[in-house]
Amino acid sequence: MSILAIALNPTIDVSSQARRIHPTVKVRTHDVLQRPGGGGVNVASVISRLGGNVELVLLAGGATGAILTDALATTAIRLHPITIDGPTRIAFMVHEEETGLEYRFVPDGPEISAGDVNSVLKAVGQFQGNYLVASGSLPRNAPADLYAEIARRAAKKGTKVILDCPGMTLRDTLGKAPFFLIKPSLEELEVLAACRLDEDGVTKAASALVRDGVSEFVAVTLGREGALLAGAFGTLRAPSKHVIAKSTVGAGDSFIGGLVWFLDAGGPVEHAFRFGIAAGAAAVMAAGSELCRREDVFANYGEAWLPNRPG
C-alpha cells in the first residue's frame, strides 16, 4: 500500500553557516545547501528514504515552484503537483558557528484559490491507501477547516489520518473530523490547553484529547526530553537518544515520517512511536536542513522488533 503526504505550503529550504551574525552589516555565509522542504515534503522524503511507497500532493507556483518540483522529480516519491499562481516560498536558516545558535526565517507563503483547494480535495478523494499525513502550515487564504475537510474525506474510505500542524491551526481543526493520530509539540499542546504544562500536565492534556475522542492517539514531542504517546491503553513515555546535535530542522517531520512508515509496514503503534523518536534524533544529527539518514534511524532505534518489510 501507499502513504499519501499533503504539502499545502511547501518551501525551498536554504541553509548555511556563518561565523557570527551581526545586525546592519553584511553577514558572509558558506556551506550553502538547498533542498525541498516544508512539512508534507519532509515527511514524504523520510518515508521514501526508509523504503516506503509514498505519494505527495503539493501546491507549487512560480519559478521557485518549478525548482521544487524538479528537485522532487529525481526522488522515488510519486508526485501530484498542483500549480498555483503565487510563488513557492523560500525558507532560510543560518547556523552561527561561534554560539551554536540557529536562526530560522520562514515566510508565510503564497495565497491559494478555491480552485486550488478543490484540486487538493479531488486528489485526496482519489487516493487509495492506509495512511494520509497532513503536515505543515496552511497557505494564506486557505479555509481554516481545510485539514478537517481532508480528514473527513479520507476517513470515509477508511484511510487513517495523521495531523501535524501549528498550534493555532491545530486548535481550530480538532473536534471537526476524526483523526488517527495528532502530533503536537509541547508548545502546541500548551496552545490547546491554553496554559503552561509541566510533565504531569502534558500527560493529562494528551490523555484528555484521547478520552474526548479528538484523536485515537496523541504523540507529544518534547525535544531532547523525548516524547509521550497517549491512547486508550494509557500513556507511554520514552526518552530521546542522546546524540550530538547539529540542527533541529526537520526533527518533527522525521518523527512523523518514521512513525507512519513503521505503521504502514505492519508495526504496532508503540514500536512505531519509538521508531519515530529514533528518526527525530537522527534528524538532529544531520547538519543544516538535511533530514534523517536511514542508517542513523535504524542505529538509534536499536531494537530487535521490526516490521516484516523494513525497506
Q: How many residues does the chain have?
A: 311
C-alpha cell belonging to residue 232: 486508550
- The distance in angstroms from the start CA to the end CA of the chain is 13
Task: Say how far apart CA 174 and CA 172 lie, in whole Å.
Answer: 6
Residue 289 carries which DSSP code? T
Q: In 3D, which of 300, 215, 226, 297 has the Cα closest to residue 258?
A: 297
pLDDT score at 306: 73
Joined together, the cell numbers standing for residue 285 give 544529527
Q: What top-level class would CATH report for the domain 3-301?
A: alpha beta
The CA distance from 186 to 23, in Å, is: 31
Whose grid coordinates read 490547546?
192
Per-residue pLDDT tens listing for the chain (311 residues)? 689 999 999 999 999 999 999 999 999 999 999 999 998 999 999 999 999 999 999 999 999 999 999 999 999 999 999 999 999 999 999 999 999 898 999 999 999 999 999 999 999 999 999 999 999 999 999 999 999 999 999 999 999 999 999 989 999 999 999 999 999 999 999 999 999 999 999 999 999 999 999 999 999 999 888 899 999 999 999 987 766 556 666 688 999 999 999 999 999 999 999 999 999 988 878 765 577 888 899 988 987 667 765 44
Helix or strand or coil: residue 231? strand
Q: Is 58 helix (H, G, I), strand (E, B) or coil?
A: strand
Q: What is the CA radius of gyration of the chain?
A: 18
pTM above 0.85, yes or no: yes
